[in-house]
């Protein structure tokens, strides 16, 4: 009579449900040393290796890029837009190659055209102003979106492409603020005072990663917290020292401008490292490792440029207000 209901004769199943065996209890599994060892293996975080050659290379690259932006304003003031344009081209190429977005040619083309239009927009008017850059940025992003939607290959990963396009457009527009600043009285001095802080900060931070990359900011990023802190402090001091030898600059005011610019540059460089580590964990790593690491300094100076402009407006060049 009970042949069709064998569970009625089984005390372990008399409630009508399938009870878990004692070994399946999650609390007892936590008390099991073997189970705990297995869980530790699962949550173990990989530690990124320290590549000293990479740190040295990027430190030198950051120094060269920063010095080019600083001395370009002095040595070739009438052609400073060409120096900035060179940095913009490098930013577009490196960012596109490193992130490998869908429709990479569209992203690169939009970025290069934005650089040309942005530099012209701030260099052509008689009165130096950054107002046209807002229109350039909005227009460039709209063109980039339309270009991505019109791709023949389809709309795969179109959201990631939008993000890369936005970063590229904002980056080249940010670099263009240096052209506006260079056209004002004491503009070259302000550029030197601020960007020297960013240059020294990046160089020291990357250089200390070669000697003492500890304590780590996070295991997945081969950057040392000590280098970040000392780099920002060294950049601040370098700006104040540079201001003491620049006509029209006040070290007491420049120290604040140098601090803001150096911190912005160093933290941006670190943030790009986090983004790169995330792509490595997801398996989205390009083949050109040096190009990937060049993103840090290029992104750092892209943010340092508008910060330098803002600090100059508030502290260093009162005529701008």
Q: What is the pLDDT of residues 246-290, one digit of tens each?
A: 988 999 999 999 999 999 999 999 999 998 888 777 777 655 777
pLDDT of residue 48: 76
Place of tokens 């008689």: 126
Domain assignment present for 302: yes
Domain assignment present for 271: yes
Q: What is the pLDDT of residues 60-100, one digit of tens each?
A: 999 999 999 999 998 888 899 999 999 999 999 999 998 88
Domain assignment present for 23: no
Domain assignment present for 19: no
What's the sign of the alpha-carbon dihedral 262, 286, 274, 93? positive
Count of domains observed in the chain: 1
Domain assignment present for 114: yes
CB 262 within 8 A of CB 236: yes
Domain assignment present for 143: yes
Domain assignment present for 314: yes
pLDDT of residue 310: 95
Token couple for 107: 């992203």
Token couple for 291: 């190009």
Residue 84: domain span: 52-320
pLDDT of residue 16: 42
Tell whether the model's pLDDT for residue 15 goes beyond 70: no
pLDDT of residue 26: 40
CB 207 within 8 A of CB 146: no
Lowest mean pLDDT among 21-35, 73-87, 177-191: 21-35
Token couple for 94: 């490196």
311 compared with 4, residue with greater pLDDT: 311
Domain assignment present for 32: no
């Amino acid at each position: 009579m009970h042949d069709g209901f064998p569970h009625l004769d089984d005390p372990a199943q008399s409630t009508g449900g399938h009870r878990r065996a004692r070994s399946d209890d999650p609390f007892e599994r936590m008390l099991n040393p073997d189970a705990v060892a297995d869980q530790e293996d699962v949550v173990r975080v990989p530690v990124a290796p320290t590549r000293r050659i990479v740190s040295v290379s990027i430190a030198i690259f950051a120094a060269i890029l920063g010095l080019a932006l600083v001395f370009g304003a002095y040595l070739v003031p009438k052609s400073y837009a060409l120096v900035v344009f060179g940095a913009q081209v490098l930013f577009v190429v490196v960012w596109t190659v490193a992130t490998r977005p869908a429709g990479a040619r569209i992203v690169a083309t939009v970025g290069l055209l934005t650089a040309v239009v942005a530099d012209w927009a701030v260099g052509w008017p008689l009165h130096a102003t950054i107002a046209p850059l807002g229109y350039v940025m909005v227009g460039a992003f709209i063109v980039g979106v339309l270009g991505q939607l019109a791709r023949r290959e389809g709309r795969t990963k179109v959201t990631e492409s939008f993000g890369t396009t936005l970063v590229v457009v904002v980056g080249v527009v940010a670099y263009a603020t240096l052209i506006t600043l260079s056209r004002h009285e004491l503009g070259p001095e302000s550029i030197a005072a601020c960007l020297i802080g960013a240059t020294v900060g990046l160089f020291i931070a990357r250089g200390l990663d070669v000697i003492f990359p500890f304590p780590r900011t996070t295991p997945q990023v081969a950057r040392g917290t000590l280098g970040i802190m000392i780099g920002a402090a060294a950049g601040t001091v370098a700006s104040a020292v540079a201001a003491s030898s620049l006509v029209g600059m006040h070290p007491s005011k420049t120290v604040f401008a140098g601090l803001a610019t150096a911190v912005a540059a160093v933290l941006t460089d670190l943030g790009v490292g986090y983004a790169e580590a995330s792509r490595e964990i997801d398996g989205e790593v390009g083949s050109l490792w040096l190009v990937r690491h060049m993103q840090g300094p290029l992104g750092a100076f892209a943010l340092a440029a508008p910060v330098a402009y803002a600090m100059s407006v508030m502290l260093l060049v009162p005529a701008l207000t």
